[in-house]
Structure 1
Amino acid sequence: MSTQTPASNDAAIREITIAHSPDSDDAFMFYGLASDNVQVPGYRFTHTLTDIETLNHKAMNEAFYDVTAVSFHAYPYIQDNYALMACGGSVGENYGPMIIAPRPYSLDEIRKIKIAVPGTLTTAYLTLKLFAPEIETEVVPFDQIIPQVLAGKYDAGLIIHEGQLTYSHSGLHKIIDLGVWWQEQTGLPLPLGGNAIRRSLGPEVIHIVAKALYDSIKFGLDHRKDALAHAMQYARDLDPEMANQFVGMYVNERTLSYGEDGRTAIRKLLQMGHERGIIPHPVKIDFVE
């Protein structure tokens, strides 16, 4: 699904392609740009909405979009072609991806059960493997994990996005919140996803686009009612109150700036992934703004 700003006849207009997931938090974040409330003279921004694991692979295999939402776990695989933007990230403050199941397994039991996961490049998967390296997994589209666990195809699932707020409505049990586990292990928030920008754009364009994204996030936060109304069309199974809660979890002051502990958390997460053999090569992180 794509949305585009109106075309211009001016050949000097530079098009910047932006890709993000069709979720209420990303929609809120990009509302300023998507609604043309944030404009940059000489630039046109086009938006493509695709699930995060598809974006992870597209960035890794093609370096396709100028700006793309990515899981932090995917960043080491795209670091030669992309830099991390200093804004636009989603960080869990003592919350994050959860393992859910129809019955309350113990942590020892859950380590021996095959878990449905939303993708092997997701940060949820990386954190799961840090928690339990031996755990067996199978990839299932993120929005099918809860239905397939309920149908009995899997004994447990690793959930992200709105499922974190709705799983109990289906009678499922939370076995562990990996954001809580991470905070207990490190004392840091859990960085989940960010926005990356193609290095080939060059420093000047990167700065202009990064400023536009910052302004879009700020516009949404400053015009919350309108931004939430826009985001509701992507709020799967959430009523307005829950959508507001979900957006607040992942679009906040840390989305404007990770903060020093947020940047430390990103580095630590990926360094641990490399040290544990989950990420095959050293990670080089640089933030652009």
Structure 2
Amino acid sequence: MEKRVIHVAHSPDSDDAFMFYPLVAQKIDTKGLEFKHILKDIESLNRDAKEGKWEVSAVSFHAYPYIADKYVVLPSGGSVGDGYGPIVVSKEPLDTLKGKRIAIPGKWTTAYLTLKLFEPDFTPVEYYFEDILPAVVSGEVDAGLVIHEGQLTYKDFGLKKFVDLGEWWKEKYNLPLPLGCNVVRRDLGKELIDLVAQLMKESITYALTHKEEAMEYARKFARGLEQDPERSERFVSMYVNERTVDYGKDGREAVYLLLRLGKERGIIKAEIPEKIFSDEI
């Protein structure tokens, strides 16, 4: 009998690769499903999700209200920063971000949403996320909003931190900052959605309990950190941990707060669903 193919779309970074490795490498029993990787940057994934392109996808929480008619959020697989997150960096020290030209990795990213909550008055300049640090170094922009491995490598470029948005969020709301999530398409039906949710949790748990094996695979995706095992492992552990297995009560509270604030400030134009997670529906 031919296996049902489930396309899993995610960013080509080491934390996503780490958590999806057991599924793709069939290290766990996939119950008759075959999972295939689709690798794209997060802003492309956000756009694809608006079309309902992939059965399972990583997306930004900022984008979720716009795709809620097509997807639900899986209870596992979230990227949550507990006291850390996207960082605004600059070449020279800045007193304020007000009125500055800031390179961003996309207007649908949660990093952008959080920056708008922190400072509403700036000029966003969209860049592919890997081009943000060079743009700041060259002086094309006043500052850059860095995500992924850039959170650990910006000092290598001689850049200075203005604010860590995850740290700011924690101080202001005493909650972790939910950045990304894995979503599953509603038209798969409840039985298949529940199975995908179960396998996602098993995949993350396997990766965390077979860390060396999963890290060996994930390092291939550690952009800028391929030859730096210590920092590549640190980055993965920042975004694949117990909160990735389960958001926790405060993690879910933070999701709803982030989206509500985005709506109240006029940043998010779509309606916020009352129920977001697949196990709530």
TM-score by length of structure 2 reads 0.96
The aligned counterpart of 2:180 is 193
Which residue matches 1:288?
278
Deviation string for 1:215-258 (max 9, x for gaps)? 11011000000100000000011111001100000000000000
Q: Deviations over 1:36-61 (max 9, x none)?
A: 1023232111111111110000001x
Partner residue, 1:88: 77
Matched, 1:33 2:23: yes
User: What one-letter code is carried by the residue in structure 1 that aligns with 2:196?
Assistant: V
What does 1:1-289 align with in structure 2 at a 5 Å threshold? 10-11=1-2, 13-60=3-50, 62-106=51-95, 108=96, 110-238=97-225, 239-284=228-273, 285-289=275-279
Matching residue's letter, 1:244: E
Alpha-carbon contact 1:114-1:137 (below 8 Å) kept: yes
Q: SS of the counterpart of 2:15?
A: helix
Q: Within 1, Cα distance between the matches of 2:84 and 2:160?
A: 16
Structure 2 contact 23–30 (Cα < 8 Å) conserved? no
The answer to whether the Cα contact below 8 Å between 1:31 and 1:216 also exists between their aligned partners in 2 is: yes
Structure 1 CA distance for aligned equivalents of residues 224 and 259 of structure 2: 32
Deviations 1:49-98 (A, max 9, x none): 111110000001x1010000000000000001100000000100111111
Structure 1 alignment gaps of length 5 or more: 1-9
One-letter amino acid of the counterpart of residue 35, structure 1: A
Consecutive unaligned residues of structure 2, counting only runs of 5 or more, are: none
Aligned partner of residue 30 in structure 1, secondary structure: helix
The percent of aligned pairs where both chains have the same amino acid is 51
**SS in structure 1 of the partner of residue 125 of structure 2:** strand
Number of equivalenced pairs: 276
**Offset at 1:133?**
1.1
Cα separation, 2, equivalents of 1:168 and 1:125: 21
Q: Is the 1:182–1:189 Cα contact (8 Å) retained in structure 2? A: yes
Contact 1:271 1:282 in 2 (8 A): no
Distance (whole Å) between structure 2 residues aligned to residue 41 and residue 180 of structure 1: 40
- Structure 1: distance between partners of 2:224 and 2:8: 26
* CA RMSD of superposed structures (Å): 0.9
**Residues 150-190 of structure 1: CA distance to partner in whole angstroms, max 9, x if unpaired?**
11111210000001001111110000111111112111110
Q: Give SS of 2:43's match.
A: helix
| Dislocated runs of 4+, deviation >4 Å | none
**Does the 8 Å contact 1:18/1:66 carry over to 2?**
yes
Amino acid at match of 2:186: R
Equivalent-residue separation in structure 2 for 1:147 and 1:28 (angstroms): 27
For 1:228 and 1:281, the matched residues in 2 are separated by 38
Q: Does the Cα contact within 8 Å between 1:53 and 1:118 map onto a contact in 2?
A: yes
Structure 2 distance, partners of 1:39, 1:51, is 28
Contact 2:103 2:144 in 1 (8 A): yes
Tell me which amino acid in the other structure corresponds to 1:40.
Answer: T
